[in-house]
Chain A
Amino acid sequence: QVQLQQSGPGLVKPSQTLSLTCAISGDSVSSNSATWNWIRQSPSRGLEWLGRTYLRSKWYNDYAPSVRSRITINPDTSKNQFSLQLNFVSPEDTAVYYCARRGAATLDYWGQGTLVTVSS
């Protein structure tokens, strides 16, 4: 059974960097079939896919255009986890952030969610 456990601060000041981590059990971040994703949810923007990281013969990343200039998703093979960094946050980045695995078809396992509030 795959489990994803999120960690990270729930409060970030404007213009600073949001950092979250998603620890994986029951699968590997180095899987050659899965992809590892971040999604957020807010009342104003709904569910929004932010990006992914995955290993095929090398590491790849894809990011949503809405955040491409500010986002980094990195795998950490030593800890079997992956992370999200979102730079220069504003109150519009306040949301519940989820990590999720794409398995054989689509997003099948999700983390528990982390409410991140951007406020001074």
Chain B
Amino acid sequence: DIVMTQSPESLAVSLGERATFNCKSSQSVLYSSDNKNYLAWYQQKPGQPPKLLIYWASTRESGLPDRFSGSGSGTDFTLTISSLQAEDVAVYYCLQYYSTPWTFGQGTKVEIK
């Protein structure tokens, strides 16, 4: 199984400031035949299912504010919120869908400082 490791476990950021968190996979999730990274980012708020934010490591889901961006390739990935808003308080998960069993990171909890 591919192990996904997220850091940090939690992050406190002031409103309007940048939040950056990371996801590392135990093996590459870059598929050579299509040159796509099979990596997604989700946001989860209490009592709700995860919400897809980013797929193919850097493609924003339709309607997602452009303050959210994803980057990285191979085994190292980053989700950035350029200007944290109050509604961004949540837990963020990465998911590799390169090979089954698909695996999630343990999450990064984002709070307001």
Residues of A with Cβ closer than 8 Å to B?
Answer: 46-49, 52, 62, 64-66, 98, 100, 102, 105-108, 110-113
Contacts and interface: CB of A to CB of B under 8 A. Distances in A.
Contacts, number: 52
B52 A107 contact: yes
B55 interface: yes
Interface of B: 1, 38, 40, 48-52, 55-56, 59, 61, 93, 95, 97, 100-104, 106-107
Contacts of B52: 106-108
* Chain A facing B: main interface SS: strand
Contacts of A110: 49-51
A70 to B, nearest CB: 14
Contacts of A66: 101
Contacts of B59: 105
A78 B85 CA distance: 45
Contacts of B100: 49, 52, 62, 64
Nearest to A52: B100
Contacts of A46: 104, 106-107
B76 to A, nearest CB: 19
Q: List 8 A-B pairs, minimum CB-CB distance, nearest first.
A: A110-B49, A47-B104, A64-B101, A105-B55, A49-B102, A106-B40, A106-B97, A106-B55
